[in-house]
Chains A and B, each alone.
Chain A
Amino acid sequence: MSFIEMKNVCKRYAGAEKNSVTDFNLSIEKGEFIVFVGPSGCGKSTTLRMIAGFEEITSGDLYINGNRMNTVLPRDRGISMVFQNYALYPHMTVEKNISYGLKNMKVPKDEINRKVDWAIDVLGLSEYRYRKPKNLSGGQRQRVALGRAIVKNQELFLMDEPLSNLDAKLRVSMRTEISRLHRELGSTTIYVTHDQVEAMTMADRIVIMKDGIIQQVGKPMDLYEHPANKFVAGFIGSPQMNFYDVNVKGNTVVFSDGSSIDLPDSVMSHLAGKEGEFIIGIRGEDIKVDAQNMELYKKNKMVATVENVEIMGNENNLYFNFANTQTIARVSKYEISKPGDTIEFVFIPSRIHFFDKQTEKSLF
């Protein structure tokens, strides 16, 4: 049995017409860094709170370390948690916030002091040791919350959108800090976020959810390269994947505006001869405007008028309308265009994703 096993876990709130979480099945190995990601209301925080014991499990089973935990009190589950709003004790100093749990657990005083010193040192909180939370910045508060979690030596860390209240720069540094702590402590971590960048950069495996149902579980690059459905394809990656309704006849893909491209057999063989209506998806970086690719895929050249250009510094995002769909192409910073310019572009055929029109499931 894995360190954490969730079997057919469901959650339905009293009076609700449908489940908030449905048939959640997941096995987590010891030491893994798992990220639950999805849009607001997808059930990721509810699932985390069921693991923590703050929400009752309506049906299904939760096992931690081989023990069924459905009815076990939160404090007896062997977990530490970092909350979205830090949940620090406002009337206690940094030191007391960190040591409070250890005191309640009747840990000897010497050991408390040693652990608190270690946590304060590891998290760079030495100069704030005797400050109260109101006198700390958001990043410092978050580090205190982390300190409170790590001193207890619990086997499982739960983190509920811990960086969502921080500014972009601080978020990046805290991301690194949490990853470093995870590597050093080797503890199993379940991390909830709605930010797919956090998920991609921190996770060993990502669990992507929508409407309380797991859409896909996998390593970050697996999700990026081989999304299970259109939702995953659209959620992972920034800017999000471009989708088009198409009609396939033989090797020809016809777009809704009548323009068409011919794809090689190596791509079309995945459809196993199926024809008709599909959805295709292509990531911004797989739309090319440079001369080399134009030459390579000259048969499939398409034309559009640039509507907007986002200069990112290291690259440019070109916005244009193609086949009645707003399209974003990520191009090199040397490909300079301005709104109103007419550009030629091609899709890299091997990078096109096909989705079933009805089920929206990926076809390969």
Chain B
Amino acid sequence: MKRKKQKIFNIALAVIMLIMSLFFLFPVIWMLANSFKPDAAITADMNSAMAFVPPAPGKGFFDNYKAILFDTSFIRYMLNTLFYAAIMIVSGIIVNGLAGYALAKIKFPFRDRWLAVIMMLMVIPAETIITINFMFVSKMGLLNTVFGYVLPMIVNPFNIFLFRQVFVSLPDDVWEAAQLDHCNPVKYFFTMVLPMSKTVVATVSVFTFLNVWNDYLWPSLVFTSSNLLTAQIGLNSITSNDNTTMGQTLAVITLITIPVIIIYSLFSKQIVEGVISTGSKEG
């Protein structure tokens, strides 16, 4: 009897969640369906259910996408962003990972206070220090350079905290065994600590990628050269062009959303595990 009740409850829950997910999917489906249509068709379907139905594949089906990919610099913007994200992920893992490791495993004066300071920095919104960062990068003559874009963004208090929380639970005897195996601290970090903490490395990588991918304010300040623009700035530049149609606008938004969806689908488990483990493995 109890099992039957549980089953009914589960089915009801699934139906409710399905309905709720439709609310969230509603704009995405609308965007996707209309990104394949010419502007006239979008306007014609606007007040009917056809607004959620893509046109039948045929001639001109991919016209909006072709226009975005071949007539604008959008591919370059996407590649730029992927490149910046790769640099930020690698450098972020090294810098924040080493900081997290020091806070977790190396004894030095005021270590816990340093951790408290870093945790306090987490509550400061990035926007509040963006002017300082801009002045710093500008004075160093790094405006319009990849280095100028990346440098102030590498250190991330949240990532340091994530790393620290995972590293603190790593067993000390593995480090001791590695020492006897003639492993030096730097090699230990790269060949032992990071591989043993794959979950948090994946989590930090995903967060970093999404930050870079979605960031608008900082790249818009640092970059003025069109060769260096990121996807988000590129999106703004393309959509604000008077010659861009509504269908093309929806196509470019679809393109810019795809990597985010792929990343979340592939790594949702790691993201959840990573964040949960950082909360539960304090040791």
Contact = CB atoms under 8 A, between A and B. Distances in A.
A complexed with B: yes
Interface of A: 52, 54, 73-75, 79-81, 83-85, 87-91, 100-101, 104-105, 148
Contact of A104 (B176, B181, B195): B181
Interface string B145-185: 00000000000000000000000000101101111111100
B183 A104 contact: yes
A148 B177 contact: yes
Contacts of A90: 196
A80 B196 contact: no
B115 interface: no
A87 B173 contact: yes
B181 A148 contact: yes
Nearest to A49: B176
Given A89-B192, A90-B196, A91-B196, A100 B181 contact: yes
Chain B interface secondary structure, helix, strand, loop or mixed? helix
A79 B180 contact: yes
Given A87-B171, A89-B192, A91-B195, A81 B181 contact: no
Interface in B174-218: 174, 176-183, 187, 192, 195-196, 198
Contact of A81 (B176, B195, B198): B176
A83 B178 CA distance: 12
Nearest to B176: A54
Contacts of B198: 91
A74 B181 contact: no
A101 B192 contact: no
10 closest A-B pairs (Cβ-Cβ)?
A101-B181, A104-B182, A87-B173, A87-B177, A91-B195, A83-B173, A74-B179, A87-B174, A75-B182, A105-B182
Contacts of A85: 171, 173
Interface string B63-107: 000000000000000000000000000000000000000000000
B234 to A, nearest CB: 39
Contact of A74 (B174, B176, B195): B176
Interface string B237-260: 000000000000000000000000
Nearest to A105: B182
Given A87-B173, A87-B174, A81 B196 contact: no
Contacts of B181: 75, 100-101, 104, 148
A273 to B, nearest CB: 55
A78 to B, nearest CB: 10
12 contacts: A75-B182, A80-B180, A81-B176, A84-B173, A87-B176, A88-B174, A89-B174, A89-B192, A100-B178, A101-B180, A104-B182, A104-B183
Contacts of A83: 173, 176-177
Contacts of B192: 89, 91
Residue of B180, B183, B192 with most chain A CB atoms under a 10 A cut-off: B180
A52 B174 CA distance: 14
A79 B180 CA distance: 7
B55 to A, nearest CB: 50
